[in-house]
C-alpha cells in the first residue's frame, strides 16, 4: 500500500527544522512568555507529608496580606469543577479513589496540592502560603511497593482493605512444560527506581475564563491539547466548543505533559471562580515532587533455554509502584502492561507467563513516560539473555543472533500477546556489526583491559510498540484519540497552510508534516506554513504520544495534500482545456507531461479567489482539503533495533562512565533522517540517565522525598554523555501510504538495557554483577563488596 | 511584581547596548526581571537554583546564571541577553550551526547554551570535543543528548577560524 514517492521529493531529506530559526534567536514563546491583562498569579500549598490528615484553621492572615486576592481550598472549587476517578475497562476492578483539583481533609502524597493562593504576584502568593494556618496530623505512609503489599502495611487511602490497586496474570503456551524440559534456567531479580521526565520547561497554566461567554481559554505546556479540551470540558461542565486549549512552543514533554494534573485543573477552576485570568508555572521543586514519576518496578524473571541455546519460555513477576492514584485518564497500569509485553519481544519463544501486582503508595502517581514501560521489559530480557550466554560460555551477540525472530517467521503473535510484524532483525544485526566493527572494537577493549581498566561492552535488542491505533485505548473506554486530522488550504498567493492535530514538542513533527505536504501537493516546503497545538485552530486528533506523529499524522497530511493536489490539477485542467492526468504540479508550477510550465499555482489561486468570473461554468475548486487518518490494521506498529554501550567502571569510586554508544534502528520510512537521528540520540541519553543517574528517592523511614532539587536529582550533562553512532535499516510499514513507524522513543527503550549489560560485562572480571537501576556508585561498590 | 508594598530600588544599567533606568523589586532575580520586567523572554528559567543554565545571560562580559543574581546587583552593569547577542550578530555562526545541525529540539536550553558556547569560543577557538563538553557541562539539555550540540560548536568554531 506504500505510494510511490517522488525520487527527488522532500520526504526523506535531512532538512533542518524551519521553526528552530526562531528558537536560536530566543524568539520562542513558551508558556511563561505569555501573560493576560488582569491576571492573578497562583501558588500552591502542597502537602509536606506523604500522608496526613489536615484542617485549614486560618486563612485570614494570608487573605489579608496586601496583594492577595483569594485563598482557595477544595470546598471552594466544588462549584467550579467536578472531581474525577481513573477507571479503565482494560483494568477491571482497578482501585483508584476519587480525586479533585485540591486535596480534601487528607493528603496522600507529598506535593499533593491542598490550597491555592491568588495574588498580584507569584512572590506575594508564596508569601501568603506561609501565613495559611493548617493543622497537620501526620499518618503512617506506605512508600516501598513491596512493603506496601504486606498485610500490616499502612493503608495508602483510609479505609482501603489493601494497597493492591490491580493485579493480573496472562500469558500463553505451556510454561511449566518449557521449564521442565529446559537444559538451562536463568533467573534474576531486578529493581528499578522511580524517576521522572524533567522537561526543561516545567508545566503550568494560564487560564482565562470568560463568564459572559461561559468559555475557557487556557494556555498549557502540553503534548495533547485536544485531550485537555475533552477533559476540561468534562470537569468544568462546559461544551467542548467553549474550551480552547493552546500549547505554543513547548519546552519538551517526554510523557510528563500528557496527563490531567490536579494543579492545572485547579488553575482553570480558579479562573472561573475569580472571573479573571490566572497564571501559574510550576517551579522545579514542585515539578520534581508533583510531575508524574515512572518506572518503579521489582521484577523477578526466569528464562528457560534448551540444550541448543534456544529460548523456550519466560516467567516474570512484576511488582509495580503505582503512586497514590492511577494517573488520569490513561491509567498508570499501562506502563506495567507495556513492560511485561516487551519481555522477550525481539526473540522467538514458546511459552510466557506474567504476573503483575500494581501497588498503591503514598507517592505521586506514576504515568506514561518516554518509551512507556519498554525499558523495564527490555532490561529484564537482556539481563536474562546475558546470563544465559554466560552460563553457556558463549558470545552474547551469538546467543542473540540465534534467538532473534527471523523475517520469514513474521507476522507472528508471541505467547505474551505481542504481534510482531515487518521487523528486520537480521538486516539490522548485519548493519549493527558493520557499524561497530566488532573485531577492532574487541581489540580496543582488550587493550584497555590489559592496562587494568574495567571496561565492558553491552548489547540490547529492542522491539518497540509504536504509533498506537484505536485498539489501544478505545476498548478501554478512555477518550484518547488515535486518529490524526490535517487540513491543507491553498492561499491566494499560492502558499499552502496546513493545520494539523499532531503536536510539536521539540521532536520536529511540524517539519516532517511540511515535507509530506510538500510532496503530496507539489510545492516547496518554504511555501508551506503549519499550525499545530491550538484546539481553536487545529482539527481534533491525537497530539504527541507513542511516537505517532509520522506514522499517523504523516498519513493524514499525505491524504489531505493529495486531495488538494487533485483539486488544483482539476481546476488547472479546466482552465488549460486539457485533462488532469496530462498535468503535474511541481514546485508550485502546473506542468505538462514534458515538464513545461503551463500555469503558476499563484496565478491559478488568484484566478479562483479573485477572478472567479473568468472560470468556466460548473467549476467549483475546493482549495481546502481535509484528511483524517485512522489505521484499521495493527494496533501498534512494531519497530526493532540493536544498541551497544561501552562503559568504564572505576572500581575505587564505583563511578560508571559511558564511553560510546551505538544504535541501529528500523523505524520504517524516515520523513527526515536528520531529525530521526537526533530523536534517537536524545532518547539514548535519556536512557543512560535512567541507567546511571536518575532516581526519585524517598526516605525509607518518614517517606520524605529526598531528590527535590536538580542538585539531588542527577541528570545527564554534556560531560557525562557519550558520542552516539546511529545507523538505520528501513522497512516501510506496508499498511500505509508513507510507511513511517514510530522513531522518537526507541533510543530510550534500549539504552538502559545496553548500559546494564555493559556494566555487568565490566564487573564480570571481578565476579560481580549489578541488578539495580540507576547503577549509582553505591550500587557498584556494594556489588564489588567494598560497601556492605 | 508591581505592588505598592513590594520594596524596590532604582537601578541604572546598560541592557543590550541601551542605557536604561528601572525600579526593581529588591528580591527579584535578574532573569525574572529581564523576562517579566523587560519583556526579554529569550532567557529562560529551568530550575531557579543554579543547576540548569537555562537562565544564562552575560553580565560585564561574563556568562552568569541569571537566577543566582538579583536584579539590583546589575546596577551599573553591562547586561546582554540572547536578544542582544542576536542583534549584534556576535553569535551568528553558532546560531547557524545549531540550526543546520539540528542541535536543538524544544529550544528551551538553546539561548543559555549558545551564550555559554560563545564564551568558550571567545577564549578557545579550536576546542576539542571534550573541552566543548566540559564548557557546556553546566547547561542541561533534555532533548538532544548533547552530541549534536558538540558537533554544532565544533562546526561554528571551524567557520570562525576560516
Ligand atoms: S534557572 Fe538558573 S541555573 Fe537553572
Ligand atoms: S533542546 Fe530541549 S532542552 Fe535542549
| A113-119 and A164-172 strand pairing | unpaired
pLDDT score recorded for residue B2: 61
Q: Which residue among A23, A26, A711 sits closest to B51, beta carbon to beta carbon? A: A711
Contact check, Cβ <8 Å, A200/B106: yes
Mark residue B60 as left, alpha or beta (left: phi above 0; alpha: psi -120 to 50; beta: remaining): left
pLDDT score recorded for residue A60: 97
Question: Residue A515's Cα: distance from chain center in Å?
Answer: 23
| Cα B148 to ligand 2 centre (Å) | 11
Q: Which residue of B has its CA nearest to A715?
A: B140
Residue A763 · residue A454 · CB < 8 Å? yes
Query: What is the rounded distance in angstroms from the CA atom of residue A357 to the CA atom of residue A296?
Result: 12
Counting atoms of ligand 1 from 1, which one is nearest the CA of B48?
1
pLDDT score recorded for residue A3: 73
Residues 6 or more apart whose Cβ sits within 8 Å of residue B111: A26, B42, B43, B44, B54, B56, B81, B82
Cα angle A408-A410-A414, degrees, rounded to a multiple of 5: 130
Query: What is the rounded distance in angstroms from the CA atom of residue A618 to the CA atom of residue A635?
Result: 43
Distance from CA of B99 to the nearest CA of A (A): 6
Is residue A102 pLDDT above 90, yes or no? yes
> Stretch B91-108: mean pLDDT, rounded?
98
Contact check, Cβ <8 Å, B143/A682: yes
Is residue A4 pLDDT above 80, yes or no? no
pLDDT score recorded for residue A622: 97
- Which B residues 96-125 touch A at CB under 8 Å? 98-102, 104-111, 114
Is the Cβ atom of B54 under 6 angstroms away from ligand 1?
Answer: yes
CA–CA distance from A189 to each of A143, A185, A298, A770 (Å)?
A: 20, 14, 7, 10
Residue B99 grid cell: 540550526
Residue A232 · residue A242 · CB < 8 Å? no
Distance from CA of A352 to the nearest CA of B (A): 35
Is the Cβ atom of B22 under 6 angstroms away from ligand 2?
Answer: no
Residues 6 or more apart whose Cβ sits within 8 Å of residue A278: A39, A40, A41, A42, A118, A205, A206, A207, A267, A270, A271
Contact check, Cβ <8 Å, B49/A197: no
The residue written with cell numbers 523475517 in the block is A407
Q: Count Cβ atoms below 10 Å from residue A782 Cβ, excluding itself.
A: 16
Is residue A659 pLDDT above 90, yes or no? yes
| Cα A201 to ligand 1 centre (Å) | 11
Contact check, Cβ <8 Å, A718/B149: yes
Query: What is the rounded distance in angstroms from the CA atom of residue A256 to the CA atom of residue A367?
Result: 8
Residue A777 grid cell: 556508585
Contact check, Cβ <8 Å, A121/B47: no
Tell me which residue of A779, A436, A478, A515 sits closest to A673, measured CA to CA: A515
Query: What is the rounded distance in angstroms from the CA atom of residue A366 to the CA atom of residue A387?
Result: 30
Q: Give pLDDT tens digits for A630-643.
A: 999 999 999 999 99
Q: Which residue of B has its CA nearest to A674?
A: B102
Residue A294 grid cell: 515512572
> Stretch B34-40: mean pLDDT, rounded?
98
Is the Cβ atom of B112 under 6 angstroms away from ligand 1?
Answer: no
The residue whose C-alpha atom lies closest to atom 4 belonging to ligand 2 is B141
Mutate to test the pocket of ligand 1, among B30, B49, B81, B142 (most ligand atoms within 8 A of CB): B49
Which percentage of chain A shows pLDDT scores above 70?
A: 100
> Which stretches of A491-568 are assigned E, i.e. beta strand?
496-500, 528-531
Q: Give pLDDT tens digits for B53-87.
A: 999 999 999 999 999 999 999 999 999 999 999 99
| Cα A630 to ligand 1 centre (Å) | 43
The number of the ligand nearest the C-alpha atom of B149 reads 2
Query: What is the rounded distance in angstroms from the CA atom of residue A29 to the CA atom of residue A350?
Result: 53
Q: Give pLDDT tens digits for B135-147.
A: 999 999 999 999 9
pLDDT score recorded for residue A1: 63
Eight-state DSSP code of residue A277? -
Residue A271 · residue A277 · CB < 8 Å? yes
The number of the ligand nearest the C-alpha atom of B30 reads 1
- Determine whether B21 is exposed, middle or buried from the number of CB atoms within 10 Å of its CB (0-12, 13-18, 19+): exposed
Q: Which residue among A21, A683, A719 sits closest to B137, beta carbon to beta carbon? A: A719
Contact check, Cβ <8 Å, B141/A124: no
Contact check, Cβ <8 Å, B110/A24: yes
Residue B3 pLDDT level (bands cut at 50, 70, 90): confident
| B8-15 and B78-80 strand pairing | parallel
Residue A166 grid cell: 490491580
Distance from CA of A24 to the nearest CA of B (A): 6
- Determine whether B78 is exposed, middle or buried from the number of CB atoms within 10 Å of its CB (0-12, 13-18, 19+): middle
Mean pLDDT (chain A, rounded): 97
> Stretch A762-788: mean pLDDT, rounded?
97
Which chain A residues contact residue B98 at CB under 8 A? 20, 24
Is the Cβ atom of B46 under 6 angstroms away from ligand 1?
Answer: yes
Q: Count Cβ atoms below 10 Å from residue A33 Cβ, excluding itself.
A: 18
The residue whose C-alpha atom lies closest to atom 3 belonging to ligand 2 is B141
> Stretch A40-66: mean pLDDT, rounded?
98
Is residue B1 pLDDT above 70, yes or no? no
Is residue B40 pLDDT above 90, yes or no? yes
Mark residue A111 as left, alpha or beta (left: phi above 0; alpha: psi -120 to 50; beta: remaining): left
Q: Which residue among A66, A124, A681 sits closest to B144, beta carbon to beta carbon? A: A681
Q: Which residue of B has its CA nearest to A27?
A: B42
Is the Cβ atom of B104 under 6 angstroms away from ligand 2?
Answer: yes
Query: What is the rounded distance in angstroms from the CA atom of residue A455 to the CA atom of residue A444?
Result: 10
Distance from CA of A305 to the nearest CA of B (A): 37
| Cα A31 to ligand 1 centre (Å) | 17
| A52-58 and A133-138 strand pairing | antiparallel
Residue A5 pLDDT level (bands cut at 50, 70, 90): confident
Contact check, Cβ <8 Å, A715/B140: yes
Domains and CATH numbers, chain B: 8-85 (3.10.20.30), 89-161 (1.10.150.120)
Q: Which residue among A67, A201, A717 sits closest to B3, beta carbon to beta carbon? A: A67
Q: Give pLDDT tens digits for A56-72.
A: 999 999 999 999 999 99
Buried b (16+ CB within 10 A) or exposed e, A722-748: bbbbbbbbbbbbebbbbbbbbbbbbbb
Query: What is the rounded distance in angstroms from the CA atom of residue B62 to the CA atom of residue A373?
Result: 44
Which chain B residues contact residue A725 at CB under 8 A? none
Residues 6 or more apart whose Cβ sits within 8 Å of residue A152: none
Q: Which residue among A21, A67, A685 sits closest to B145, beta carbon to beta carbon? A: A685
Residue A575 grid cell: 482552465
Is the Cβ atom of B109 under 6 angstroms away from ligand 2?
Answer: yes
Q: Give pLDDT tens digits for A506-533.
A: 999 999 999 999 999 999 999 999 999 9
CA–CA distance from A573 to each of A560, A576, A588, B53 (Å)?
A: 20, 5, 15, 57
pLDDT score recorded for residue B56: 98
| Cα A709 to ligand 1 centre (Å) | 11
Contact check, Cβ <8 Å, A124/B6: yes
| Cα A46 to ligand 2 centre (Å) | 28
Query: What is the rounded distance in angstroms from the CA atom of residue A181 to the CA atom of residue A173?
Result: 14
Query: What is the rounded distance in angstroms from the CA atom of residue A514 to the CA atom of residue A498?
Result: 8
> Stretch A644-650: mean pLDDT, rounded?
98
Q: Which residue among A67, A718, A724 sits closest to B136, beta carbon to beta carbon? A: A718
Which percentage of chain B shows pLDDT scores above 70?
A: 99
> Stretch A552-560: mean pLDDT, rounded?
98
Is the Cβ atom of B50 under 6 angstroms away from ligand 1?
Answer: yes
Is the Cβ atom of B105 under 6 angstroms away from ligand 2?
Answer: yes
pLDDT score recorded for residue A221: 98
Domains and CATH numbers, chain A: 20-28+483-629 (3.30.365.10), 34-139+200-252+257-290 (3.90.1170.50), 293-470+633-784 (3.30.365.10)
Q: Where are the alpha helices (DSSP H) in A51-180?
A: 60-63, 74-77, 122-129, 175-180
Query: What is the rounded distance in angstroms from the CA atom of residue A517 to the CA atom of residue A487?
Result: 10
Contact check, Cβ <8 Å, A252/B106: yes
How many interface pairs between A and B have CB atoms less than 8 angstroms apart?
Answer: 193
Q: Give pLDDT tens digits for A126-178.
A: 999 999 999 999 999 999 999 999 999 999 999 999 999 999 999 999 999 99
Predicted ipTM?
A: 0.98
Best mutation target, B6, B102, B109, B111, to test chain A (most A CBs within 10 A): B102
Residue A7 pLDDT level (bands cut at 50, 70, 90): confident
Tell me which residue of A722, A377, A554 sits closest to A3, measured CA to CA: A554
Q: Count Cβ atoms below 10 Å from residue A2 Cβ, excluding itself.
A: 14
- Which B residues 60-99 touch A at CB under 8 Å? 81-83, 86, 95, 98-99
In this structure, what is the dihedral angle of CA atoms A187, A188, A189, A191, given to the nearest 10 degrees?
-140
pLDDT score recorded for residue B4: 75
Is the Cβ atom of B145 under 6 angstroms away from ligand 2?
Answer: no
Whether residue A329 has a cis bond before it, omega within 30° of 0: yes
Q: Is A574 helix (H, G, I), strand (E, B) or coil?
A: helix
pLDDT score recorded for residue A542: 96
| Cα A550 to ligand 2 centre (Å) | 21
Q: Which residue among B49, B105, B111 sits closest to A284, beta carbon to beta carbon? A: B49
Q: Which residue among A121, A284, A720 sits closest to B3, beta carbon to beta carbon? A: A121
Whether residue A774 has a cis bond before it, omega within 30° of 0: yes
The residue whose C-alpha atom lies closest to atom 3 belonging to ligand 1 is B50
Mean pLDDT (chain B, rounded): 97
Q: Rounded to the nearest 5°, which phi and psi values hold at A341?
A: -75, -20
Eight-state DSSP code of residue A354? E
Is the Cβ atom of B160 under 6 angstroms away from ligand 2?
Answer: no
Amino acid at each position: 500500500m506504500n505510494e510511490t514517492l517522488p525520487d527527488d521529493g522532500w520526504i526523506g531529506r535531512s532538512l533542518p527544522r524551519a521553526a528552530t530559526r526562531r528558537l536560536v534567536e530566543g524568539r520562542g514563546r513558551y508558556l511563561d512568555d505569555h501573560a493576560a491583562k488582569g491576571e492573578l498569579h497562583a501558588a500552591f500549598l502542597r502537602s509536606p507529608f506523604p500522608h496526613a490528615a489536615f484542617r485549614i484553621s486560618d486563612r485570614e492572615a494570608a487573605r489579608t496580606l496586601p496583594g492577595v486576592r483569594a485563598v482557595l481550598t477544595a470546598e471552594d472549587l466544588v462549584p467550579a469543577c467536578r472531581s474525577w476517578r481513573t477507571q479503565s475497562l482494560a483494568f477491571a476492578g482497578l482501585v483508584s479513589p476519587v480525586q479533585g483539583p485540591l486535596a480534601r481533609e487528607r493528603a496522600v502524597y507529598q506535593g499533593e496540592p491542598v490550597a491555592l493562593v491568588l495574588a498580584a504576584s507569584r512572590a506575594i502568593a508564596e508569601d501568603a502560603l506561609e501565613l495559611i494556618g493548617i493543622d497537620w496530623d501526620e499518618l503512617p505512609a506506605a512508600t516501598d511497593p513491596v512493603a506496601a503489599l504486606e498485610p500490616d502495611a499502612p493503608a495508602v487511602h483510609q479505609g482501603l482493605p489493601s494497597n493492591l490497586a490491580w493485579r493480573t496474570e496472562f500469558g500463553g503456551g505451556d510454561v511449566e512444560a518449557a521449564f521442565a524440559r529446559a537444559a538451562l534456567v536463568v533467573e534474576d531479580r531486578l529493581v528499578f527506581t522511580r524517576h521522572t521526565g524533567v522537561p526543561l520547561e516545567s508545566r503550568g497554566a494560564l487560564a482565562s475564563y470568560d463568564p459572559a461567554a461561559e468559555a475557557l481559554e487556557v494556555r498549557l505546556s502540553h503534548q495533547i491539547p485536544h485531550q485537555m479540551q475533552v477533559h476540561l470540558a468534562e470537569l468544568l461542565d462546559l461544551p467542548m466548543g467553549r474550551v480552547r486549549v493552546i500549547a505554543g512552543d513547548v519546552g519538551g514533554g517526554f510523557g510528563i505533559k500528557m496527563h490531567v494534573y490536579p494543579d492545572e485543573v485547579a488553575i482553570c477552576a480558579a479562573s472561573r471562580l475569580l472571573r479573571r485570568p490566572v497564571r501559574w508555572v510550576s517551579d522545579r521543586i514542585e515539578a520534581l515532587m508533583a510531575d508524574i514519576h515512572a518506572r518503579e518496578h521489582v521484577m523477578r524473571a526466569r528464562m528457560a533455554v534448551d540444550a541448543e541455546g534456544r529460548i523456550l519460555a519466560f516467567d516474570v513477576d512484576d511488582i509495580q509502584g503505582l503512586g497514590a492514584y492511577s494517573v488520569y485518564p490513561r491509567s498508570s497500569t499501562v506502563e506495567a502492561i507495556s513492560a511485561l509485553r516487551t519481555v522477550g519481544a525481539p526473540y522467538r519463544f514458546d511459552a510466557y507467563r506474567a504476573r503483575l501486582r500494581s501497588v498503591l503508595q503514598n507517592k505521586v502517581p506514576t504515568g506514561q513516560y518516554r518509551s512507556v514501560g519498554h525499558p523495564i521489559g527490555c532490561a529484564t530480557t537482556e539481563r536474562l539473555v546475558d546470563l544465559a550466554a554466560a552460563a553457556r560460555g558463549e558470545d552474547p551477540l551469538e546467543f542473540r543472533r540465534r534467538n532473534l525472530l527471523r523475517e520469514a517467521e513474521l507476522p507472528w503473535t508471541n505467547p505474551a500477546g505481542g504481534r510482531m510484524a515487518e521487523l528486520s532483525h537480521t538486516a539490522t544485526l548485519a548493519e549493527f556489526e558493520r557499524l561497530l566493527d566488532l573485531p577492532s572494537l574487541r581489540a580496543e577493549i582488550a587493550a584497555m583491559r590489559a592496562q587494568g581498566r574495567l571496561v565492558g561492552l553491552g548489547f540490547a535488542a529492542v522491539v518497540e510498540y509504536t504509533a498506537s491505533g484505536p485498539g489501544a485505548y478505545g476498548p478501554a473506554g478512555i477518550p484518547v484519540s488515535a486518529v490524526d486530522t490535517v487540513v491543507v488550504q491553498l492561499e491566494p498567493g499560492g502558499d499552502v497552510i496546513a493545520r494539523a492535530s499532531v503536536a510539536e514538542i521539540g521532536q520536529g513533527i511540524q517539519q516532517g508534516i511540511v515535507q509530506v505536504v510538500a510532496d503530496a501537493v507539489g510545492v516547496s516546503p518554504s511555501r508551506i506554513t503549519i499550525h499545530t497545538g491550538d484546539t481553536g485552530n487545529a482539527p481534533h486528533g491525537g497530539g504527541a504520544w507513542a511516537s505517532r506523529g509520522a506514522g499517523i499524522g504523516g498519513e493524514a497530511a499525505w491524504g489531505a495534500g493529495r486531495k488538494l493536489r487533485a483539486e488544483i490539477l482539476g481546476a488547472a485542467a479546466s482552465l488549460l482545456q486539457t485533462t488532469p492526468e496530462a498535468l503535474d504540479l511541481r514546485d508550485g508550477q502546473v506542468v505538462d507531461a514534458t515538464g513545461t510550465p503551463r500555469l503558476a499555482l499563484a496565478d491559478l489561486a488568484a484566478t479562483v479567489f479573485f477572478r472567479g468570473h473568468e472560470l468556466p461554468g460548473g467549476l467549483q475548486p475546493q482549495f481546502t482539503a481535509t484528511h483524517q487518518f485512522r489505521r484499521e490494521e495493527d494496533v501498534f506498529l512494531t519497530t526493532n533495533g540493536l544498541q551497544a554501550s561501552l562503559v568504564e567502571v572505576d572500581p575505587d569510586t564505583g563511578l560508571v562512565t559511558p564511553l560510546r554508544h551505538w544504535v541501529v534502528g528500523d523505524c520504517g520510512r524516515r520523513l527526515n533522517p536528520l531529525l530521526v537521528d537526533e530523536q534517537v540520540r536524545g532518547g539514548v541519553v535519556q536512557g543512560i540517565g535512567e541507567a546511571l543517574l536518575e532516581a526519585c528517592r524517598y526516605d525509607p523511614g518518614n517517606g520524605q522525598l529526598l531528590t527535590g532539587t536538580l542538585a539531588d536529582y542527577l541528570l545527564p550533562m554534556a560531560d557525562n554523555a557519550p558520542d552516539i553512532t546511529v545507523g538505520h535499516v528501513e522497512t516501510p510499514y506496508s499498511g500505509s501510504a508513507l510507511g513511517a513507524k514510530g522513531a522518537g522513543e526507541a533510543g530510550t527503550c534500549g539504552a538502559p538495557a545496553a548500559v546494564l549489560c555493559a556494566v555487568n560485562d565490566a564487573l564480570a572480571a571481578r565476579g560481580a554483577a549489578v541488578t539495580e537501576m540507576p547503577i549509582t556508585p553505591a550500587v557498584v561498590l556494594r556489588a564489588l563488596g567494598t560497601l556492605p | 511584581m508591581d505592588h505598592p508594598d513590594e520594596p524596590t530600588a532604582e537601578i541604572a544599567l546598560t541592557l543590550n547596548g541601551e542605557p536604561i533606568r528601572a525600579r526593581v523589586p529588591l528580591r527579584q532575580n535578574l532573569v525574572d526581571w529581564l523576562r517579566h520586567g523587560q519583556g526579554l523572554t529569550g532567557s529562560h528559567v529551568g530550575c531557579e537554583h543554579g543547576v540548569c543554565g537555562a537562565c544564562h545571560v552575560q553580565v560585564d562580559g561574563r556568562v552568569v546564571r541569571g537566577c543566582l543574581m538579583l536584579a539590583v546587583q546589575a546596577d551599573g552593569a553591562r547586561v546582554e541577553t540572547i536578544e542582544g547577542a542576536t542583534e549584534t550578530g556576535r553569535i551568528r555562526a553558532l546560531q547557524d550551526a545549531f540550526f543546520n545541525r539540528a542541535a536543538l529540539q524544544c529550544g528551551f536550553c538553546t539561548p543559555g547554551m549558545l551564550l555559554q558556547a560563545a564564551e568558550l569560543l571567545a577564549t578557545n577557538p579550536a576546542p576539542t570535543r571534550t573541552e566543548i563538553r566540559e564548557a557546556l557541562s553546566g547547561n542541561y539539555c533534555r532533548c538532544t543528548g548533547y552530541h549534536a550540540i558538540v558537533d554544532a560548536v565544533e562546526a561554528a568554531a571551524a567557520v570562525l577560524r576560516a
